[in-house]
Structure 1
Amino acid sequence: MAQRGARTPSYWYDGGPVPVSARLLAPLYGAVVALRRSLYRRGWLRRTQVPVPVIVVGNVTAGGTGKTPLTIALVNRLRDAGWKPGVASRGYGRDDAATARWVTPELAPELGGDEPLLIAHKAGVPVRVDRDRVAAARALLEAGCDVVVCDDGLQHYRLARDIEIEVVDAQRRYGNGRLLPAGPLREPVARAQECDFRVVNLGQGSDQAPSAPQSGFGEWPMRLRIDGAQPLKGGRERPLQAFAGQRVHAVAGIAHPQRFFEMLRARGIGVVPHAFADHHRYQASDLSFGSELPLLMTEKDAVKCHAFATSWHYSVPLQAELPAAFWIALLDRLEKLGRN
């Protein structure tokens, strides 16, 4: 497997020894996190409420757990229910991060960030990137939105929220249970118990069930479905079955690239894997592998590769599926908050 760029430390999840330097820094990180939480809890740092419901989709671990697919599914479901949602995001890794901007499908990915751009492509709702999520929420309100969905931002306490949805990876869960940098935790696991919903990302076609709820905390399974491959140069989508029995180059610049490769292999596709760092900025040379096999990549990668795509480059659309009872519970909670 080709691997390029910074990777998640293996000891976070494989049970390996944690470097002494990381073990020494983790308590310092934990003290800062605890102090900040205390300041907000005591009211010494103020939360700002906006006059529409705010839903935060986030996690207590560093890296991806499936927040963006869930955010897209959530926005689409809200719109179907008659709401006018908008998405607020920091736009991690974008240029000129101090500048707030609207993200449209035409915006350059280096200006909007790959995940906000993907949401703009797939959801077709207002998307605002801003380091200040309070300002982003207010901009969405002025644009006519009556509910704000934050893609990430569970730890951005200044923006008051009405519903928190934690997303956790079913395979990796909370890793070794240590705080950064000794482990993957941004906050202690106990913080997750404060969220209104916990969504467990089972991946594609998994029969695995979420682990037993802790202290009565319910868990909702989310499965990710892939069915086709969309040519980056345009044209009709091809069913993934058309690639079964073939070798393909598979590209994933996400937090857990192995999941994407496993999803393709489950469809009988011969995967030559190429893993890149999360949020990697692609150049044409990154996709030159010495053979013109079909190249399948995640949607998050594809939004950054259109400028130099070839006729054998494909994006694999992904859809998040959750139980009907989850949507009923969430929409019921939202309706009780009331519309603006």
Structure 2
Amino acid sequence: MIRLRQPPAFWWQAESRGKRPILSFALAPLGLLYGAIAGWRMRRSGFKAALPVICVGNLVVGGAGKTPLALALAKRLIVAGETPWFLSRGYGSAAEHGAPLIVDPSLHCARDVGDEALLLARVAPTLVSADRVASARLAAEHGASVLVLDDGLQNPALEKDLKLIVVDAGAGIGNGRCLPAGPLRAPLSDQLDFASALVIVGEGAPAAGLIEAARRAGKPVVLAQLAVTSAMAAQLAHRRVYAFAGIGRPNKFFATLDELGAEIVGTASFPDHYAYRRADIATLQRAARERDARLVTTEKDFVRLSLSANGPAMVDPVLPVPLAVPIEMTVSDPAELDALIARALRRARGNS
């Protein structure tokens, strides 16, 4: 199994008085300081955009399902007659620190605008820039009726009308400490106070206490699921696969493949948003060929396999070609989510 740098394991270990990992304990003062600053920033007033702002974020560092939820929201908004535009920071991309850039999948690759932005742009117009205020203004000028932020929950730049916090039920909030002692981006109490609702993805004991805390605080809890599309599920069932992923929780992707009935003959984990090199892809392709397996990865990883918008330039077509495994998010009670959105839009437009 190939392993590269990942978040420290102690972040996800439950702590008790008699069992505290040394590193977590040693970093706790820094975590308290970081959390205090992050909590203060979240309470600052932001710019009030001319359009309603829906923000999808998470409590911790790493993947919880923000982008699939943002995509699901945009689809629901389009059906309701809205014109959503996505605002993305484009983490690690060339466009991150520049003026807002409208994503064009026919021209841009992941290095230009970021992997998430390319996925978002398949559903609705997408702007990339760390300057969310400038992006909001530009989207309004181009006819947007509502803005959807993929991440940015802890960033105070824009005032947010609906704040949905996504939680992976299988991971929860780890040890409950703030960075760097744990995975929390800000103190849990501050984030729960700030949230409009929690979206719990999947099932798992780690989220049970968080659900109870949210309900005590009067915050709605929406239950959601992530699943591979039915067509892809049928294609992978009982097939030998070599899987790789550079996302927040690669093991979650591997577990999904296992649940489909795929025969996993090897895996490779990379850091989130990893910039793949030709040598990486060649190694993965050879490993799949040696195991007579299909090479599979996430959609986020797949869009990072190209040096240009014209195709997977780093992939050797003679060896097993990577296959993207698409996933979709569904909610248990769509009417509940639609009601949250409708109320937020009415309030933002002064029609409450």
Query: Which range, TM-score by smaller chain?
Result: 0.7 to 0.9
Question: In 1, distance between residues paired with 2:175 and 2:147?
Answer: 33
The 5 Å alignment of 1:278-297 reads 278-287=272-281, 288-289=283-284, 290=286, 291-292=288-289, 293-297=293-297
> CA offsets per residue over residues 60-82 of structure 1, 9 Å max, x none?
21121110000011111101110
Report the AA paired with residue 313 of structure 1.
P
Q: CA deviation at 1:248?
A: 1.0
Q: CA deviation at 1:28?
A: 2.1
The 5 Å alignment of 1:196-235 reads 196-202=196-202, 211=208, 212-214=211-213, 215=216, 216-227=218-229
Report the equivalent of 2:322.
313
Give the ranges of 4+ consecutive aligned residues of structure 1 lying more than 4 Å apart after TM superposition: 206-210
Report the AA paired with residue 115 of structure 1.
E
The 5 Å alignment of 1:230-245 reads 239-245=232-238
In 2 relative to 1, CA 192–35 (structure 1 residues): closer, same or farther, beyond 3 Å?
closer
* Counterpart secondary structure, 2:193: helix
Q: Is the 8 A contact 2:86 2:150 kept in 1?
A: yes
In 2 relative to 1, CA 18–103 (structure 1 residues): closer, same or farther, beyond 3 Å?
farther
Report the equivalent of 2:309.
none
Report the equivalent of 1:332.
342
Report the equivalent of 1:99.
98
- 1:262 equivalent to 2:255? Answer yes
Question: In 2, distance between residues paired with 1:185 and 1:209?
Answer: 14
Q: CA deviation at 1:286?
A: 1.3
Report the equivalent of 2:17.
none
Question: In 2, distance between residues paired with 1:244 and 1:111?
Answer: 35
Report the equivalent of 2:34.
29
Q: CA deviation at 1:84?
A: 0.3
> CA offsets per residue over residues 247-304 of structure 1, 9 Å max, x none?
2111111001111101101111111211111001112321323342211110000111
* Counterpart secondary structure, 1:58: strand
In 2 relative to 1, CA 143–299 (structure 1 residues): closer, same or farther, beyond 3 Å?
same
Q: Is the 8 A contact 1:103 1:120 kept in 2?
A: yes
Q: Is the 8 A contact 1:299 1:315 kept in 2?
A: yes
Structure having the higher helix fraction is: 2
Q: Is the 8 A contact 1:252 1:276 kept in 2?
A: yes
TM-score, normalisation: structure 2 = 0.84
Q: Which moved more, 1:295-304 or 1:191-200?
A: 191-200
Question: In 2, distance between residues paired with 1:78 and 1:37?
Answer: 27
* Counterpart secondary structure, 1:213: helix
Report the equivalent of 1:79.
78
Report the equivalent of 1:116.
117
Report the AA paired with residue 340 of structure 2.
L
* Counterpart secondary structure, 1:192: helix
* Counterpart secondary structure, 2:212: coil
Report the AA paired with residue 226 of structure 2.
L
Q: CA deviation at 1:335?
A: 4.2
Question: In 1, distance between residues paired with 2:232 and 2:70?
Answer: 25
Q: CA deviation at 1:194?
A: 2.8
In 2 relative to 1, CA 80–247 (structure 1 residues): closer, same or farther, beyond 3 Å?
same
Unaligned runs of 5+ in 1: 41-45, 229-237
Alignment RMSD (CA, Å): 2.2
